[in-house]
Amino acid sequence: MAIPKGRENKRNGTCVTSIDVAALAGVSQAAVSRAFTPGAPIAADTRKRILEAAQKLKYVPNSIASSLTTRRTNMVAVILGNMNNPFYMKVFKCLAARLQAQGRQILTFTVDTGASSDDALMRVLRYQVDGIILTSAQLSTRMTALCHERGIPLVLLNRYVPSAETPSVCSDNSGGGRMIAEAFLRAGARRFAVVKGDPFGTTSQDRLSGFLAGLFEAGITRNHILELEGNAVYEGARNAVFQAFRDGNQPVPDAIFGINDAMAMGVMDALRGMLNICVPEDVMVAGFDDIEEGARWPYRLTTVRQPVETMVDKAIALLKLDTKPGAVDTGICIDHKIPCQLIWRDTVRLTEQN
């Protein structure tokens, strides 16, 4: 292929268009567009010829320019709350892989744990994103209304806004909390502690309420359940357990539930590393999420697995990125009962019933 005269790339490379590439490759402009769209139907040799022409001309498709016609920027904002919890990094990796395979990229916004997401959402609105996925806790109805008015789909992942109709995806956190209660009870536990996470997060609240409901039904009373504040992070849980039981302050319970795996790992390190208490012989421990770190040898943590890939796929589907932009969709979709699975490892004693 010879490069047509006057078509060579100029200094800043922005003047070459898909028309030039189409001319050089001998295809239609639509074919050039398909060649650069992941998953679009195009013959392999046609795509190869187009990419060679693009390389010769130093052509790069421009998402911002094409957004002027398609009204799509191929950017999805992801608002992250607790980046110190490996579970959210796992979610983020999965979101990045899935969206990237669709030809979309993540614009990242972070919020301090427990802080409102409103400021982050105001910042998000300064960019033209095709959708927003929010994994942090607090959110005002004013901000969700503002996103809705602007036609930008917003989906909550691993949390929801009580009494609001914002689309959201959660696993069955309450049912999972109950599974842990039942596992502890079957293993013979009668005195309990629970290390709580973000007080404003529905995920932490639901896991706690499911756990407590399971215990209450078995006749366990409030005065046999110690509640500790772990602030959703490893260090918080480790320090809370150490402070609670150091110097024989109070009797150590039979079993401790860390509301997430990161905190359950902190509980184990406090028990074994700081208090010289054996797990599970002296105290049983369980977590929630099933992060890779909890499955490793020093922990082998019994936990509840959240189906991250299913949750991420559902959240992306709820954004409806492939429907016509601006089309108002009044159907609300809230999915809070994606099934979880109890993962037996070594931190809860096995009984014949288990």
CB 203 within 8 A of CB 262: no
Nearer to a copy of itself, 125 or 334 (CB): 125
The window from 9-17, 209-217, 278-286, 330-338 that contacts a copy of itself (CB under 8 A) reads 9-17
Nearer to a copy of itself, 37 or 310 (CB): 37
Of 69, 297, 322, 324, the one binding a copy of itself (CB under 8 A) is 297
Of 17, 46, 52, 61, the one binding a copy of itself (CB under 8 A) is 61
Q: How far apart are CA 215 and CA 225, in angstroms?
A: 9
Residues in 166-195 that interact with a copy of itself by CB under 8 A: none
How does DSSP classify residue 289? B
Instruction: Say which amino acid occupies 311.
Output: M
Residues in 316-335 that interact with a copy of itself by CB under 8 A: 326
CB 224 within 8 A of CB 218: no
Of 218, 273, 309, 337, the one binding a copy of itself (CB under 8 A) is 273
Q: How far apart are CA 245 and CA 256, in angstroms?
A: 12
**Binding-site string for a copy of itself from residue 218 to residue 237, where x marks contact by CB under 8 A and - marks none:** ----------------x---
Does 12 sit near a copy of itself (CB under 8 A)? Answer: yes
Nearer to a copy of itself, 166 or 205 (CB): 166
Q: How far apart are CA 169 and CA 189, in angstroms?
A: 33
Query: Both ends of the chain: CA-CA distance in Å?
Result: 70
Cα separations in angstroms, 67 against 232, 282, 310, 318, 334: 39, 61, 29, 21, 30
Q: At what angle do helices 308-319 and 86-101 cross, to 10 degrees?
A: 50
Nearer to a copy of itself, 185 or 267 (CB): 267
CB of 108 to a copy of itself, least distance (A): 5
Does 19 sit near a copy of itself (CB under 8 A)? Answer: no
Nearest to 66 by CA among 128, 148, 150: 128
Does 298 sit near a copy of itself (CB under 8 A)? Answer: yes
Does 97 sit near a copy of itself (CB under 8 A)? Answer: yes
Does 296 sit near a copy of itself (CB under 8 A)? Answer: yes
Of 23, 52, 89, 334, the one binding a copy of itself (CB under 8 A) is 89
User: Over the range 217-232, which residues count as b (16 or more CB within 10 Å of their CB) and which as e?
Assistant: eeebeeeebbebebbb
Residues in 112-171 that interact with a copy of itself by CB under 8 A: 122-123, 125-128, 146, 149-151
Does 75 sit near a copy of itself (CB under 8 A)? Answer: yes
Nearer to a copy of itself, 206 or 269 (CB): 269
Does 60 sit near a copy of itself (CB under 8 A)? Answer: yes
Of 33, 73, 85, 204, the one binding a copy of itself (CB under 8 A) is 73
Q: How many residues in total does the chain contain?
A: 354
Cα separations in angstroms, 213 against 181, 206, 247: 8, 10, 32
Tell me how many residues contact a copy of itself (CB under 8 A): 50
Does 276 sit near a copy of itself (CB under 8 A)? Answer: no
Nearest to 227 by CA among 266, 253, 190: 253
CB 124 within 8 A of CB 69: no
CB 147 within 8 A of CB 133: no
Does 14 sit near a copy of itself (CB under 8 A)? Answer: yes
Interface contacts to a copy of itself, rule CB under 8 A: 9, 11-14, 36, 58, 60-64, 67, 73-75, 83, 86, 89, 93, 96-97, 100, 105-110, 122-123, 125-128, 146, 149-151, 234, 269, 272-274, 293, 296-299, 326
